[in-house]
Structure 1
């Protein structure tokens, strides 16, 4: 079992000048605790369910680059980037830069985008759901092409890249892992089967059904289902004990997760607790394995 930590909130006592040291401490603690992954949301406004829109929110890749400089082992990614936020060529270049500067620890976490409030607020185009999924598939194709070193022109319905050059290449070989977030059964999970190395689902009983659907898509795509990492998000809005962390990881493993990412609430510090839980999770085997 792999265990990760998501930091969804940057509201800390002391105002903006206190954000960097607080975030840096969490990143270092996660790294030193032996956690596998560290994630931030890729949003520009705080999202409903975590806080008010006006609460502090850092730009995701700048935050991860800062964390990369403070850590040595933990992998780094957004959970997840909305496809409409950045041009695909720039997004691949950004993730490549993170990968190079972190020594091969970057993820590309991506989804179809959903937060129209921040898009309207900042003037980011927010097309229809159908078009966003079309753009997501083209972006995934572009990522594969650029990370293969293929500089031939890309001609899509929404994006045209005359020369998708990506230099330097990534440190991670053959490329950074791609995680597609969301549980949509017709498109999202099909994209996971066709293009991704990992999925991300909310942890719960429904996860078993979603993974059955993913398995069916893998069969149609000729993809080995076991190649895909199944990540599950576990919300921890209040402090939890080591035993509670182990129980949560075990429960999500029963649903099929092999990588549990805890999203910590404002003011909650989970890194050390999760680190203490790691020895007890080593023998947990996900369902279906």
Structure 2
């Protein structure tokens, strides 16, 4: 029986409250059940992300793979559906799936990620080319990015009214307009939805493959938001650098640069207002405001 990593147990219990604590208690048994179900042998230490644990395993034929079990949340439902559609094309292969248990057996990829590549432009170009490969017709039963864009517009408007925030009115108005425009024009393409550099891994089968998709139907330009979002606070000469990298991503992904920028600007305004409401640092608010002001 596995030992659940303490940091992961605290994160899930804190975020999901009673249901999270109950799931953590049941998790060793869920892992054992999956090992028996698919005749897997553990072959390494338990790892984890923000929503699930990953156990390196050997399959019955001796090949290496990983067992992933995620917290049963609506946001995790579409992951195996997306992986099944991609069938290893730019993504890890889905080998087994138990939708009820939120358990999957996946092809094993390298631990080296796109985050380890030192050249910033090379990182976004690799991600952009993967984004283009993954943009295939979405299955009928995955959530739509139209809902995301509509939700952002409502959140930005309501939070701005409630806070009477000092954020420039033109930025707020432009963000709401961008969200409504994006919501009205959504293609039916499969989108990763959390394509940050840590979710792009090296592979022996292909140079790079993605892991941990959210699986949205809509505009592939959305992936630009999470690709660079966690790096905004550390970018030197922020506006110039970010604008260039987003442009390089758009070109590599064969996307409209303006749509890429609109997603990013809207998210930056949303994040700035969230930071104001929940008392995050003024530096973070200012950084998001600078991102929101990048010219298309």
Does the TM-score normalized on the shorter chain lie above 0.5? no
User: Given the two structures, how large is their TM-score scaled by the length of structure 1?
Assistant: 0.34
- Rg comparison, structure with higher value: 2
